[in-house]
Structure 1
Amino acid sequence: MNWRGSLRIVHYKSVVIILLLILAVGFALFRWWQGPLLPAYTIASTPLVQTVVATGRVTTVSRAQIGSEITGVVLERLVQEGDQVSPDDLLVVLKSDELLAQVREAEVALTELATSRRPQAEAELATAKAQLEQASREAARRRNLEVGVLSAEEIEQAVEAARVARNNFELASLKAAVLAPGQVEEAKLREQLVAAQAQLAKTKIRAEIAGMVLTRDVEPGDLVQPGRTLFSIALNGNTEIRVPLDERNLSQLALQQNAAVIADSYPDQSFPARINFIAPSIDPQRGTVDVRLTVDPVPDFLRQDMTVSVNIETARRDRALTIPNDALSSIKDNKAMVLLVRDGKIHHQQVTLGLRGLAMSQVVSGLSQGDHVLADTESSLKEGARVRLKLQKTVSNNQTDDTDSKNELPVNFD
């Protein structure tokens, strides 16, 4: 090949390189003119669930505090945390020597009444009766004698003896009546025995209800006194979740609303609950309203005072025009701002919101189906700036999929 052919090849290569450079610069300028590539969402009609999320604790409908009615030393503790108890189950045994002695003393007093005091009183009554009869006969005999046979003093002595005998008889009658079966003395002693037995029974602390022992604060050798809580027992029955919700959510709440609950200890095991109580007042210190939810059925892993996350469903739309929440800015009440993209240009657009979900919200006005909005609400681009869009996927379950789409949205240019 001569030098002229070589020159032509070099010339052609130079022309191709220049053309490629021109195309590259032109494409770069075109892209610069189009604006930066930004993530965006397409406004579409999807199902929407509005929820209120809060943290609560598991509780039983009621719990009992078990204590001692008397002061005593613990001899034996028979249950601990987690044990199931039934009514009349024995929980704690206290030292009972002194009270047992009081019971035996009362029993001995009753035995003494029946075998000694009562027969003695009956014998004294019989003796007093005989003495009264004898004294009465002697006084009558002396009064019937002729005057002069006995002196007035002797007659007076006989009458006085009869009076004394009658008084003794009446006293013996009263004593015998008091000590008679079923009368005052026996009733008093039986009451003393019952009281002593009742005090003795208090040395055995028993469960009054069926439930689970939550806490214990007693050990053998402890001195217990009235007013001290020894056990806390959760009564068998409905399990509730108590949630303090911000009072701003009160208008969205209603009885029988469904909720999904997740225990912090078992994040993969969600279970259902339902609102059964909304407090009629607001906590002025925290600005919250107490809400209770019934759990049925109760999961086996659920424990008293366990921390849970509650997701209460307050409203639902089968089809609603929705926008991801991260595309919203300057939210105030039901108004918000979005960065709307039309014809490749940014427009600041105010929208009116309806239902608010965890990741998506309903657009009532300000946008139409098929509109595109930037995901970056903090963008510093000015009104009318050109942008290219990289669409992000959204899912119908009100959760935003963060996986980037590789498709670039084609736009029209003026």
Structure 2
Amino acid sequence: MRRVLVIIAAVLVVAALVVFALQPKPVAVEMLTTAPADIQTSVVASGRVLPPARVDIGATITGRVATVRVREGARVAADDILIELEHSELAAAVAQARAAVTRAQARVTSVKTLALPTAQAAQQQAAANLDVAEREAKRARDLVAKGFISQSRADDAERQLDVARSQLASTRAQTGAQGANGAEAQQAQSQLAEAEAALALAQAKLAQTLIRAPATGVVLERVIEPGDIAQPSRRMMTLALDGPVRLIVQVDEKNLPLIKPGAVATAAADAFPNERFEAVVNYISPGIDATRGTVELRLDVPQPPALLKSDMTVAIDVPGPVLKQTVMLPADAVRQLQTDAPWVLVARDGVAVRVPVKSGLQTQGRVAITDGLNAGERVIMARDIEAGTRVRAKE
């Protein structure tokens, strides 16, 4: 009986050795041990320097370009002359209009200093003549009554009186016409106003031959040369006007919970990565770019470095909230992350076990795990390992 038991024990040992030998060897994999910690979140994105205002410069009239006074990169002040058009014809029109104003002014002066006094003198003479005619007519009537003269003589005196009255009325009308509110004076003033308006119009057209900078800025592009024909619909140069420096950035919509207005970000131009500066989030677009799944941010730069140029590419790092005692995993370690049922592989007793988890915020390629994992668990990083596989930590 003892011999049988020994044989059975030997058989079991051999069978166990065979089974052990036939089992696959554990696969060496990279593992990450979970350890909750306070995590400072941040959003890193790329954007560009937004010019405060980009202005296309053009002409308001058609003309040949005589001079272009600035080149690309030149700084200009407000009202500086940028382009000059040929203006000989318009200058002649201004001279002609100015001569018309001089004639109109002379007409107004003539009415005031010559025509009016002449009319007033004629009125005074007519009044004196009327006075004489009235006395003569009265005397003639008295003499006829006494029989000293004939009636025909009295009738002649009455006709002279009527003529004198008519002459006085005519001179009064003439004086009124030459007065400040009279027709002649008003016509002269109207002609002067018309001539002055024509002069202003001619001067305005002449001024349009000098194309000036609307404000202080930098010439970005010049697309016209002397001899070219300027037209109202043609762009001749582009200016970037001075003003507050802003950055425009597109960030993934998933990062919206991490960004708040007023957040102070760190930025650097790609051309000068070591020259860092602060930028403040002042605008978060209320809309989402559906084609790219991004949100537009705009940031003010309170103290822009001199090296910043319009449309430069910049990288920004916007700090977010601190996640207290949170487990963070690389996004690659979480399977089916974009679905409603993400999961990870955890090494338990040397075997890969599928563990459902709940994910939270994602930032910089890392995912916050809010449920499903405990501290000290070993998460398998390799994505080619299936659940149930025997695993061991890679040395």
Taking structure 1 as the reference length, the TM-score comes to 0.74
Q: What is the match of residue 14 of structure 1? A: none
SS in 1 for 2:225: coil
Q: What is the match of residue 402 of structure 1? A: none
Counterpart residue identity of residue 350, structure 1: P
Aligned equivalents of 1:361, 1:337: Cα separation in 2: 12
78-87 vs 276-285, which moves further? 276-285
Q: What is the match of residue 129 of structure 1? A: 120
Cα RMSD over matched residues? 3.4
Q: What is the match of residue 388 of structure 1? A: 392
Aligned equivalents of 2:51, 2:22: Cα separation in 1: 64
Q: 1:339/1:282 Cα in 2 relative to 1: closer, same or farther (>3 Å)?
A: closer
Q: What is the match of residue 94 of structure 1? A: 85
Structure 1: 4+ residue segments shifted above 6 A: 29-32
- Equivalent of residue 205 in structure 1, options 200, 206, 211: 211
Deviations 1:249-295 (A, max 9, x none): 43332112243445455566655433111123445676543211123
Counterpart residue identity of residue 207, structure 1: A
- Equivalent of residue 314 in structure 1, options 305, 320, 330: 320
Q: Report the alpha carbon displacement of residue 242 of structure 1 after superposing the two structures with TM.
A: 1.5
Is structure 2 residue 230 aligned with structure 1 residue 224? yes
Q: What is the match of residue 40 of structure 1? A: 31
Q: Report the alpha carbon displacement of residue 126 of structure 1 after superposing the two structures with TM.
A: 2.8
Q: Report the alpha carbon displacement of residue 348 of structure 1 after superposing the two structures with TM.
A: 0.7
Matches within 5 A, 1:50-129: 50-114=41-105, 118-119=109-110, 122-129=113-120
Is structure 2 residue 350 aligned with structure 1 residue 359? no
Q: 1:83/1:349 Cα in 2 relative to 1: closer, same or farther (>3 Å)?
A: same
2:281/2:300 contact within 8 Å kept:
yes
Percent identical pairs in the alignment equals 32
Deviations 1:116-175 (A, max 9, x none): 662366323333233333333333323332144252544433433333333333323336
1:122/1:176 contact within 8 Å kept:
no
Q: What is the match of residue 398 of structure 1? A: none
Deviations 1:360-387 (A, max 9, x none): 33333322333222211232x342x212
Q: 1:153/1:298 Cα in 2 relative to 1: closer, same or farther (>3 Å)?
A: same
Deviations 1:198-226 (A, max 9, x none): 33222212222222223334332333344
Counterpart residue identity of residue 42, structure 1: T
Q: As a proportion of its length, which structure holds more strand?
A: 1
253-262 vs 337-346, which moves further? 253-262
2:36/2:327 contact within 8 Å kept:
yes
Q: What is the match of residue 168 of structure 1? A: 174
- Equivalent of residue 329 in structure 2, options 296, 318, 323: 323
SS in 2 for 1:91: strand
Which sections of structure 2, spanning at least 5 residues, go unmatched? 1-16, 142-151
Aligned equivalents of 1:48, 1:177: Cα separation in 2: 89
Q: 1:47/1:77 Cα in 2 relative to 1: closer, same or farther (>3 Å)?
A: farther
- Equivalent of residue 372 in structure 1, options 365, 368, 378: 378
Counterpart residue identity of residue 163, structure 1: A
Q: Report the alpha carbon displacement of residue 76 of structure 1 after superposing the two structures with TM.
A: 1.3
The count of aligned residue pairs is: 360
Aligned equivalents of 2:22, 2:324: Cα separation in 1: 41
Taking structure 2 as the reference length, the TM-score comes to 0.77
2:64/2:85 contact within 8 Å kept:
yes
Which sections of structure 1, spanning at least 5 residues, go unmatched? 1-25, 391-407, 409-414
Q: 1:274/1:126 Cα in 2 relative to 1: closer, same or farther (>3 Å)?
A: closer
Q: What is the match of residue 130 of structure 2? A: 139
Counterpart residue identity of residue 99, structure 1: L
Deviations 1:58-77 (A, max 9, x none): 20333334333333332111
Q: 1:105/1:318 Cα in 2 relative to 1: closer, same or farther (>3 Å)?
A: same
2:42/2:258 contact within 8 Å kept:
no
Aligned equivalents of 1:275, 1:334: Cα separation in 2: 32
Q: 1:31/1:71 Cα in 2 relative to 1: closer, same or farther (>3 Å)?
A: farther
Q: What is the match of residue 258 of structure 2? A: 252
Aligned equivalents of 1:335, 1:382: Cα separation in 2: 16
2:111/2:185 contact within 8 Å kept:
no
SS in 1 for 2:30: strand
